[in-house]
Amino acid sequence: MANPLNPARRKHKLVKAWMHEHVNDPYVQEAQRRGYRSRAAFKLIELADRDRLLRPGMTVVDLGAAPGSWSQVLRERVGPGGRIVAVDVLPMDPIAGVAFVQTDFRTDEGLAAVEQALAGAPVDLVVSDMAPNLSGIDPVDQARSVGLADLALAFAGEHLQPGGDFAVKVFQGSGLAEFEGSMRERFDKVYLRKPKASRDRSREVFLVGKGYSGG
C-alpha cells in the first residue's frame, strides 16, 4: 500500500492538478488564441482599461518583462509612435517595436543601459510585474516582494515625468500598507487592484499610482 505521506507522490498529484487547471484556464486559452506569451497579459489589460494607463505615443518602461506578454500589450496599445523599453535579468524573445535590455537595473551599468535605450525620452508610465523566486516561506517571500516593489518605485521616481503613472505587483501581507503609503507620497491617486485574471488563491495585488508628483 502506497504511503499517503510520500512526498514524491504528493508532489506528483500537485503538479497534475496544476496542469489540469492550467490547460482548462480560460485566460490561458484566450492568451493562446490571441498570441500572448502568458495569461498575465490580461492583468495589464484590465489595469490599463480601468485606470486609463495607456494611450498612443507613450513612452513606457516594463520592468521584469520576460516572457513578454505585458510588452505585447504595450506594443498594441501605444502604437508605432510610442517607445517601449522592456527590462529583465532573464532572456526574452524579441518583440517587434520593443527595445529589450537584458540587465539588472539595480546596478550602475544596468541603469545606464536602460537609460541609453530610452534615449532621453520622458517616461510616461512604468509598469512592474516582477515577483521573487518563491521559497515557500511566507515572511521571506513577502519581504522579497515588497523589496522588488520598492526597487520599481525608486526607478519610477527617478524616471517618470510629472503626471506620469506607475503600476506594480506586490503580495498582500506585511509591508504592503507601508509601501502603499510611500506611493501616496509620490502620486496624486493610488488604487489597490486585484484583476480578475489573478487567481483567487494568489496573494498578488497591484498598486496603481496616477499623477506622479515627485517626493
Q: Active-site residues: which are they?
A: 169
CA dihedral 199, 202, 203, 208 (to 10 degrees): -30
Position 60, amino acid: V
Position 196, amino acid: K
First and final C-alpha spacing in the chain: 64
Distances (CA, A) of 31 to 41, 65, 88, 183, 194: 8, 16, 21, 31, 19
User: Does residue 211 contact residue 189 with C-beta atoms inside 8 Å?
Assistant: yes
User: Does residue 141 contact residue 171 with C-beta atoms inside 8 Å?
Assistant: yes
**Nearest-angstrom CA–CA distance, 60 and 166:** 10
**Nearest-angstrom CA–CA distance, 16 and 82:** 42
